Structure 1
Amino acid sequence: MAHNTLVIDLNRCVGCMSCNAACKTVNNVPIGSFWNKVLRVGPTPMYEGAKFPDVEWYYLPLQCQHCENPECVKVCPTGASHVLEDGTVQVDKSKCIGCQFCIMACPYGVRYLNEDEGVVEKCTMCEQQVAQGVLPQCVSQCVGIAKFFGDAEADPTFMSFRGGYNTTVADSCREFAESDIHYLKDVGNGPSIAYILRNKKWQGGK
């Protein structure tokens, strides 16, 4: 079964927020709400007792993790939150009653209530664009070519993920080891977005 997801090279992310702006524009996300955010993790000491300038940090793009076993789907009383055949987690607005159970169940705080429409919204992995063979907007507009999109089930080594300039993880990224691949904290939901981080301490979960 397919599972469309992202691989994000954190060593390439410059924190420019282009993914955030592009997402809000193409998906008409309301002011004050976000489908993705870019967090700064750190600064943290590079070694015990270190002080500035011996510190390090990285930027962490955060959005719906399109989990393999999503908690939001489990608690949805109407079936509005559901998983598509491509593995992405979606919200059927025609079924959503705005109860916000899914918001409370999400381990990553990446859902919000659209108060004007009375429904919950979140990252859709640009389902409408992917269906037409177009990359998610946050991928195609990534200035640092840090985001890659593809089917994790088809190639678990991430080598076929396409980035903003028709490239792949293998072509665009510096070499990385399996120990450099990270995921946000797993509470039994199986987050699918993979983060590559080399030579820095991962602080995002497992």
Structure 2
Amino acid sequence: MARYGMVIDMRTCVGCQACMVACATENQTPFWSDKFRTHVEDKEKGVYPDVQRILLPRLCMHCENTPCLSACPTGATSITKDGIVLVNYDRCIGCYACCIACPYDARYAYESEDVDTEKELYGDLSTHGVPHVDKCTFCEHRIEQHREPACVTTCPTHTRIFGDLDERSSAVHKLAASGKATALNQGLGTSPKVFYIPS
């Protein structure tokens, strides 16, 4: 059994947003409402004249200690045996308790207007049939086909490294175990499975 995770190398991200486009195309996220499962934050660090631009790719952290799971009153949020946090669209009642509980702001509302627009754009290929809360799934449907998430395969600078955190020979395990890559906000106690190599 795998324990999937990701390392993001902030030293190589160029802010091209190819990850956002790939994810939106693959998962039919409501880009028309400016909502994305993954996005790249453009930040500034420091004080003039020592100012640095920081590009911070963000997505669901697929936490092991998952606050969104315990906040969900209907069981719509679940964790697979491989540690991927998912949302069952049919069980989600849109109460947004999970959105409030998530300390990483990784969830958003897929509203009825978004469902209608998706149907117009994708027709019979639409995958979001009802309003719900949406989030990154590590492209679980691609993993089942032994493929990497869309954001990983499309990144031109190989900023995102994906794999089994328990597989000692995997690049993601080696980076996470080396201490080069660390989780954001470690003090929150959520045990995220997305790690960052700082720029």
Q: What TM-score bracket applies, with the shorter chain setting the length?
A: 0.7 to 0.9
Mapped contact 1:39–1:62 kept (Cα < 8 A): yes
Alignment coverage as a number of residue pairs: 179
Q: 2:170 aligns with which of 147, 160, 168?
A: 160
Mapped contact 2:67–2:101 kept (Cα < 8 A): yes
Change (3 A) 1:177 1:152: closer
Matched, 1:133 2:135: no
Find the counterpart in structure 1 of residue 39 from structure 2: 37
Taking the TM superposition and a 5 Å limit, the aligned residue runs for 1:140-159 are 140-155=153-168
Mapped contact 2:7–2:181 kept (Cα < 8 A): no
Residue type at the aligned position of 2:185 = K
TM-score (normalizing by structure 2): 0.83
Matched, 1:78 2:91: no
Q: Post-superposition shift, 1:58? A: 2.2
Find the counterpart in structure 2 of residue 4 from structure 1: 4
Find the counterpart in structure 2 of residue 173 from structure 1: none
Q: Post-superposition shift, 1:5? A: 1.0
Mapped contact 2:68–2:98 kept (Cα < 8 A): yes
Identity of aligned residues (%): 39
Structure with greater helix share of residues: 2
Q: 2:137 aligns with which of 124, 142, 145?
A: 124
Mapped contact 2:77–2:87 kept (Cα < 8 A): yes
Aligned CA-pair RMSD: 2.2
- Aligned equivalents of 1:55 and 1:112: distance in 2? 32
Q: Post-superposition shift, 1:55? A: 2.3
Which secondary structure does the structure 2 equivalent of 1:40 belong to? Answer: strand
Find the counterpart in structure 2 of residue 204 from structure 1: none
Which structure exhibits the higher relative contact order, with contacts defined as CA atoms closer than 8 Å and separated by 6 or more residues? Answer: 2
Q: Post-superposition shift, 1:179? A: 4.9
- 1:85-142, CA deviations, whole angstroms, 9 ceiling, x for partnerless residues? 1111000112111111100000011101111132110001000111001110000000
User: Any gaps of 5 or more consecutive residues in structure 2?
Assistant: 113-129
Q: 2:110 aligns with which of 100, 114, 120?
A: 114
Mapped contact 1:78–1:95 kept (Cα < 8 A): yes
Q: Post-superposition shift, 1:180? A: 3.3
Runs of 4+ in 1 over 3 A off after TM superposition: 176-180
- Aligned equivalents of 2:54 and 2:147: distance in 1? 28
Find the counterpart in structure 1 of residue 96 from structure 2: 100
Residue type at the aligned position of 1:147 = R
Matched, 1:21 2:21: yes
Find the counterpart in structure 2 of residue 195 from structure 1: 196
Find the counterpart in structure 1 of residue 183 from structure 2: 183
- Aligned equivalents of 1:104 and 1:128: distance in 2? 27
Mapped contact 2:89–2:131 kept (Cα < 8 A): no
Change (3 A) 1:99 1:69: same
Which secondary structure does the structure 2 equivalent of 1:181 belong to? Answer: coil
- 1:135-194, CA deviations, whole angstroms, 9 ceiling, x for partnerless residues? 100000001111111011223xxx5137xxxxx988xxxxx9945322111312111101
Residue type at the aligned position of 2:36 = F
Find the counterpart in structure 2 of residue 48 from structure 1: none
TM-score (normalizing by structure 1): 0.80
User: Any gaps of 5 or more consecutive residues in structure 1?
Assistant: 46-50, 163-167, 171-175, 201-206
